Amino acid sequence: MEHCTLYSHYLKFDKIVDILKDHLPHAKIEKEENGIHKKIVATIKGGIFSKTKTLSLNYRERTTPSYNLEHATCPLSKNLKGMTQFVHSIPFENQALKSKFLHKIMASNAEIAFIGDPKINEQFRLILKRITVELDAFIFTNSNSIFHLSEHQHFVDKHFKLIIDAHGNSKVDAIDVQIESKYHASHKDEISEEQQLRKEKSERYLTSKGVKVNVHLPCVESSTQIKLRTKSELIHRIYALLVIAARGEGVEQKRLQQLMEEKNIISLSPKEKSVFYQDELSPEDQAYATWRYESLNTLLWAVHEAPLPYPSAICNVQEIVGKLVQKDKATFTKSWTIRSAHEVLDALDEIYRMNWACVDARLKGTSPEGELNPGVVYERHYALNWLTNYQDLEWDDVTTDT
């Protein structure tokens, strides 16, 4: 017996049934339907020289179909959340692919377990391919007679190309994310006046700065829908970012370890620890660490300790480091207060739209309009998504979806 599992945004069980009937006109086809759980079994009777073959498809849907996993609690949604965590743990070289793929997982509404007995033969493979294409699905599988693109668990796109395996191997550069307009329409009906006014304000500001505006981008969440990180979380993250950014700049481990002991800095993330304890940083890790000064500046702004200027130039690193290193941590942080949810969301809405403009320019091979610095924009978006608990993700797993 061989199996794999398909995930699709579209709810098209009847279409699956039609595909089976079309490809297996002489098979015995049995259906079971129980609400969001459905099953179809196609049996091809064997003869004197052949065995009986069966193809089973176990189908289930999310209780409330959507294009994200916010507030989702049904069994399939929980499974999809677990899948996003697994994908977050995979070392992607192509971060744009990672972001798109995570979005595709979060937009999935149907799961189809595809089971061939005794195996997924060529006839069943053709059925699988057609279902995957027509439902714009992706596949999660182990190595078998059909999929042997990796020895490890891996994800395959609708063209049966390797999206990613558990070790970070990939054979595609991009992946499509299709979302039915009815979900956006439904979401639009739920938009508050606060969110709409914030979106319009951001768009006017971006236009005044010469930044390309995509009026179809949705609103960010409202002040009643988010829960900001606590002051304690902010303090720990700010000082952790200080250490990792300084490490990227070339400060020796020994010196930074002394600083960590003096200021009780104990909250490096797993990724940060892996970078910090390297004897010599690769160019990629050095860039990753040094750019964290921009995230650090953003979080200092969140506690009223730094400005958040237009993101066309890098922050004042010397001033940031001076504040955090020279002042006693307990005394310095005692008076910190976190900006209001409205202030944070205003900044997030702006940078979200700016990041889209930067991504759009990169995909077109041009520089972003409005003199935006893509690195500054990305780090600010990253920090603000963490601050607002976007998708309930921890620091290393934060995404900057646009």
pLDDT digits (tens, 9 = 90+) for 295-312: 999 999 999 999 999 999
> What mean pLDDT do residues 76-94 have?
90
Report the percent of the chain where pLDDT is more than 70.
97
pLDDT(172) > 90: yes
Work out the number of other CB atoms within 10 angstroms of the CB of residue 83.
Answer: 18
Backbone angles phi, psi at 118, to 5 degrees: -85, -15
What is residue 253's predicted lDDT score, i.e. its pLDDT?
92
> What mean pLDDT do residues 249-257 have?
93
Q: And the tokens for 359?
A: 């991504």
> What mean pLDDT do residues 169-173 have?
93
DSSP code at position 145: S
Contact predicate 247/276, CB 8 Å = yes
Q: And the tokens for 244?
A: 């990792």
The C-alpha R_g of the chain, in whole angstroms, comes to 25
For 128-132, 300-304, 392-396, which range has the lowest pLDDT when averaged over its residues? 392-396
At 40-80, the pLDDT tens digits run 999 998 776 678 999 999 999 999 898 888 777 899 999 99
> What mean pLDDT do residues 176-196 have?
74
What is residue 126's predicted lDDT score, i.e. its pLDDT?
94
Closest CA to 267 of 226, 292, 234, 309: 234
Confidence of residue 177 (pLDDT cuts 50, 70, 90): confident
Confidence of residue 270 (pLDDT cuts 50, 70, 90): very high
Contact predicate 32/49, CB 8 Å = no
What is residue 59's predicted lDDT score, i.e. its pLDDT?
97
Q: Mapping DSSP to helix (H, G, I), strand (E, B) and coil, where does residue 56 land?
A: strand
> What mean pLDDT do residues 4-9 have?
96
Q: Which amino acid is at 167?
A: H
Contact predicate 395/376, CB 8 Å = no
> What mean pLDDT do residues 224-240 have?
95
> What mean pLDDT do residues 198-203 have?
96
What is residue 391's predicted lDDT score, i.e. its pLDDT?
78
Rounded CA-CA distance 32/206 in Å is 53
Rounded CA-CA distance 168/89 in Å is 9
DSSP code at position 225: T
252's CB contacts (< 8 A; 6+ apart) are none
What is residue 181's predicted lDDT score, i.e. its pLDDT?
67
Rounded CA-CA distance 368/9 in Å is 32
What is residue 400's predicted lDDT score, i.e. its pLDDT?
87
What is residue 402's predicted lDDT score, i.e. its pLDDT?
74
Q: And the tokens for 287?
A: 């860039």
What is residue 36's predicted lDDT score, i.e. its pLDDT?
87
Confidence of residue 363 (pLDDT cuts 50, 70, 90): confident
What is residue 184's predicted lDDT score, i.e. its pLDDT?
56
What is residue 189's predicted lDDT score, i.e. its pLDDT?
53
What is the residue-averaged pLDDT of the chain? 92
What is residue 333's predicted lDDT score, i.e. its pLDDT?
96
> What mean pLDDT do residues 344-352 have?
97
For 189-193, 218-222, 246-250, 360-364, which range has the lowest pLDDT when averaged over its residues? 189-193
pLDDT(294) > 90: yes
- 31 vs 11, 22, 27, 34, 112, CA distance in Å? 16, 15, 13, 10, 14
Helix axes 231-248, 317-326, angle to 10 degrees: 120
